[in-house]
Amino acid sequence: MTQAPIRVGIIGVHPDRGWASTAHVPALQELPQFRLSVLSHSRIEAAQTAAQKFGFDHAVSSTEELVNHPDVDLVVVTVRVPEHLQLVTAALEAGKSVFSEWPLGMNLRDAEAMSELAGAKGVSTMIGLQTRANPAIRHIRKLIGEGYVGEVLSASVIGSGITWGEELEDAFRYTLNPSNGASMLHVPFGHTMDALGFALGSEFLSVSGTLATRRPTIRMVESREVVPLTVADQVAFNGRLGSGALVTSHFRGGLSRATNFHMEINGSKGDLLLTSPVGYVGVGGFILSGAQAGENLHPIPVPGDFGPDENVLIGNVKKLYELFASDKLSGAREAPTFDSAVKLHRLINAVEQSGGRWRDV
């Protein structure tokens, strides 16, 4: 059983920069299940240049043209979070399937509205929680499912935000506005907790968190302007999973000179350790190790892992698209959807509201 290629329309593709051109387009170019059909940019000249460069069939200058184009089956939204509600809503109203990058909305309310609209329209959705598709995370999930660690007792995570340290690129200045929903709590921490819950096969039932801003200011890279750091650069987190396991985590802004990413899963029969020299679970560079009774900690090969010369960011996005195409063909639900996004938004909202006290998710 085969299907015609899914015709993709991507909102906001620049020919030389941006997440769409650096990750989504290269990923889709390698997948015969998809066709690069339509792209949009507010300047038609830029849209036409990008279409010619990347091999799209059509270039348009407005979201309305793209979402209503007859040659678009799947609308991809990769622009800044504050624009998601308007753009995703327009695509859903046009009856199109939608792939939105994470976070889905600036807040839980907006995410719930988009998820409810998608359900009412009966269209397929996908959220950019691409680390779920990463080979290392999926292999951990398989090992746990096969009983490698026995009963999962607890998990501990140390992470670094990479951004929100001493410096910040001007392009990410908007992340300093807490209401935009694009802070370290929402992005690096959110991706990591989603990946951990997926790997463990269990959802968070209750959480508590403490947020702190330890650096009073941050320096903009290009302008050298020093501005107030108005979002948390420290996240301390505790969570209880439906399985009963306890999760603890500490995320720090910037990068550490010591440990940057450490995820340890402790079980009744064994332990797993995932580390990376970079800051959090969405970036890659993983080393997976494990040990069972009577063993010393040793490396565990990851089937299908990215080679040293492969771009992990592109690879994660590519594997997520593969899940979406497989779901469309089989009717399964392997790819994360807007429902998945709402659950993660609820977790983050509970952390924001907890003030160090336990709250249900």
For 257-306, the pLDDT digits (tens) are 999 999 999 999 999 999 999 888 878 889 999 999 999 999 999 998 88
| Core vs surface per residue 50-66: b (16+ CB within 10 A) or e | bbeebebebbbbebebb
If asked whether residues 70 and 181 sit together in one domain, one would say: no
pLDDT bucket at 310, cuts 50 / 70 / 90: confident
If asked whether residues 52 and 152 sit together in one domain, one would say: no
Q: What is the pLDDT of residue 304?
A: 87
If asked whether residues 22 and 135 sit together in one domain, one would say: no
The type of residue at 119 is: G
Q: Provide the token pair at 329.
A: 């063909």
Nearest of 286, 288, 290 to residue 308 by alpha carbon: 286
If asked whether residues 10 and 115 sit together in one domain, one would say: yes
DSSP letter for each residue of 206-245: EEEEEEE---SEEEETTT--EEE--S-SEEEEEEEETTS-
Is residue 1 pLDDT above 60, yes or no? no
If asked whether residues 282 and 223 sit together in one domain, one would say: yes
Q: What is the pLDDT of residue 248?
A: 98
If asked whether residues 229 and 149 sit together in one domain, one would say: yes
pTM of the predicted model, to two decimals?
Answer: 0.96
End-of-domain residue from the set 129, 156, 176 = 129
Is residue 217 pLDDT above 80, yes or no? yes
User: For the CA atoms of the chain, what is the radius of gyration?
Assistant: 20
Tell whether 274 is covered by a domain. yes
Write out pLDDT tens, residues 226-236.
999 999 999 99
Q: What is the pLDDT of residue 168?
A: 96
Q: What is the pLDDT of residue 359?
A: 94
Domains contained in the chain, number? 2
End-of-domain residue from the set 129, 160, 187 = 129
CATH of the domain at 245: 3.30.360.10
Q: What is the mean pLDDT of residues 205-221?
A: 97
Give the whole-number percent of the chain exceeding pLDDT 90: 91
Nearest of 58, 115, 108 to residue 92 by alpha carbon: 115
Tell whether 197 is covered by a domain. yes
If asked whether residues 37 and 82 sit together in one domain, one would say: yes
**What is the Cα 305 distance to its own chain's centre?**
18
If asked whether residues 206 and 351 sit together in one domain, one would say: yes
Q: What is the pLDDT of residue 281?
A: 87
Q: What is the pLDDT of residue 167?
A: 96
Is residue 74 pLDDT above 60, yes or no? yes
Judged by average pLDDT, the poorest of 99-103, 244-248, 305-309, 324-328 is 305-309
pLDDT bucket at 2, cuts 50 / 70 / 90: low
Q: What is the pLDDT of residue 284?
A: 82
Q: What is the pLDDT of residue 305?
A: 84
> E strand or H helix at 271, and its extent?
strand 270-276
Mean pLDDT of the chain: 95
Q: What is the pLDDT of residue 309?
A: 65
Q: What is the pLDDT of residue 282?
A: 79
End-of-domain residue from the set 81, 102, 129 = 129
If asked whether residues 22 and 94 sit together in one domain, one would say: yes
Q: What is the mean pLDDT of residues 116-131?
A: 97
End-to-end CA distance of the chain: 40
If asked whether residues 250 and 300 sit together in one domain, one would say: yes
Q: Are the C-beta atoms of 36 and 54 separated by less than 8 Å?
A: yes
Tell whether 321 is covered by a domain. no
Q: How far apart are CA 319 and CA 127, in angstroms?
A: 13
Q: What is the mean pLDDT of residues 164-185?
A: 96
Q: How far apart are CA 302 and CA 312, in angstroms?
A: 14
> E strand or H helix at 315, and its extent?
helix 312-330
Domain coverage including residue 79 = 6-129
If asked whether residues 151 and 120 sit together in one domain, one would say: no
